Amino acid sequence: MSRIGKKPVSLVKGVSASVSGQTVEVKGPKGTRSFTATDDVTITIDGDEIKVTPRGTSKRARQQWGMARSMVDNLVQGVSTGFKKELEIQGVGYRAAVAGNVLKLSLGYSHEVNFAVPAGVTVTSPKQTEIVVEGIDQQLVGQVAANIREWRKPEPYKGKGIRYKGEFIFRKEGKKK
């Protein structure tokens, strides 16, 4: 039995949902998102709750049960509060600035890195050493943050690079004479 799938997804104030077939569409103050579930689960709306139930006892039905419930919960959370990833930049001369729809990164290369921000995500830089990625799609927000981090991953000797806020970098000791 799925412990996650058993819990119904409650709709917060200002969020509405509709089910047509296997597709759930959720509308909220931040936008509209939809998810199409597999035929292994049934999705129903009871008042201000969305319930997901499996159609059988097969292993796949039980797997899809928990996954579909998590996806619907992410839809509701995305359109109501949104998702956010914060990145920190560490290193002498490393900085970030947002110009229009382009994130300009100075990361110690001989050139400035221009990262084009995709649609559906907003990227801001409150300080030169901070980057905030926000949006209603959790997967897209995480992927954009990972793509930005990929330009200069934190290295273990000095800790320079782009890291997630609060991320611990295991430091190594340098060479000894």
pLDDT at 145: 95
73 class by beta-carbon count within 10 Å (0-12 exposed, 13-18 middle, 19+ buried): middle
Q: Which helix (H) or strand (E) holds 78?
A: helix 59-80
pLDDT at 117: 94
- Per-residue pLDDT, averaged over 85-114, amounts to 93
pLDDT at 4: 87
Q: Which residue has the tokens 């409650």?
A: 10
Does residue 1 surpass a pLDDT of 70?
no
- Per-residue pLDDT, averaged over 117-136, amounts to 94
- Per-residue pLDDT, averaged over 5-22, amounts to 91
Name the β-bridge partners of 150: none
Supply the pTM of this predicted model.
Answer: 0.87
Q: What is the pLDDT of residues 30-87, one digit of tens each?
A: 999 999 999 999 999 998 999 999 998 899 998 999 999 999 999 999 999 999 999 9
Q: What is the pLDDT of residues 143-160, one digit of tens each?
A: 999 999 999 999 999 989
Is residue 24 within 8 A of residue 50, CB to CB? The reply is yes
Name all domains of the chain by residue range, CATH numbers in brackets: 3-80 (3.90.930.12), 83-164 (3.90.930.12)
pLDDT at 175: 87
Q: Please give the mean pLDDT across all residues of the chain.
A: 92
